[in-house]
Amino acid sequence: MLDRQDEIFRAMADPSRRRILAALCRAPQEAGELAQLVGLAPNAASFHLRALKAADLVSAQRHGRFLRYSIEPKSVQAWLAHVAHLFPAELLETVTITASASATRPTAGKPRPTPTRPPSGARTEPPVPIDAPIAEETTPASGVDGAGQLPTELL
């Protein structure tokens, strides 16, 4: 059972997959429709849909030449029940309230703008090394400090 939950957590770790799941919660969609809806290239949407299908979070039914994807409600409900047992109810309530508030923002649901490259020869900051230390500060959105510890008021 734990391996199954790990597979679901891996599938849910990608923000594009979470956007796809959110779109599928509204209505079943074909891959091309989903790609446009969440702002992905069609091949990227197909890649993410395969991962979600492997985690049994979505299913696909053939409609002519196309596959129509939909949520697997029992799998999603089982995962949510598992998550509910992992975290204190107060934390889940806070996360739910925060998620609801961010969903009402005017930019929610719109595709992210495509980053533009600086002109050729433009000076840019050097990339940060992958092993660079992370600043030890509390992020207001998550409430978790840089060491991965929850504030004591949430414990």
The CATH number given to whatever domain includes residue 6 is 1.10.10.10
- Asked whether residue 109 is assigned to any structural domain, the reply reads no
Beta bridge partners of 66: 63
pTM score, whole prediction: 0.54
Mean pLDDT value of segment 9-33: 90
- Asked whether residue 64 is assigned to any structural domain, the reply reads yes
Structural domain that includes position 23: 2-72
- Asked whether residue 124 is assigned to any structural domain, the reply reads no
The residue among 1, 38, 2 whose CA lies nearest residue 21 is 38
- Asked whether residue 141 is assigned to any structural domain, the reply reads no
Q: At 1, is the pLDDT very low, low, confident or very high (cuts 50, 70, 90)?
A: low
- Asked whether residue 104 is assigned to any structural domain, the reply reads no
Mean pLDDT value of segment 141-147: 47
In this prediction, residue 42 carries a pLDDT of 92
Angle, vertex CA 113, rays to CA 136 and CA 121, nearest 5: 80
Q: In what order do the strands lie in the sheet with 29-30?
A: 29-30, 66-71, 58-63
- Asked whether residue 45 is assigned to any structural domain, the reply reads yes
Domain count, the chain: 1
Q: At 50, is the pLDDT very low, low, confident or very high (cuts 50, 70, 90)?
A: very high
In this prediction, residue 101 carries a pLDDT of 57
Mean pLDDT value of segment 69-77: 88
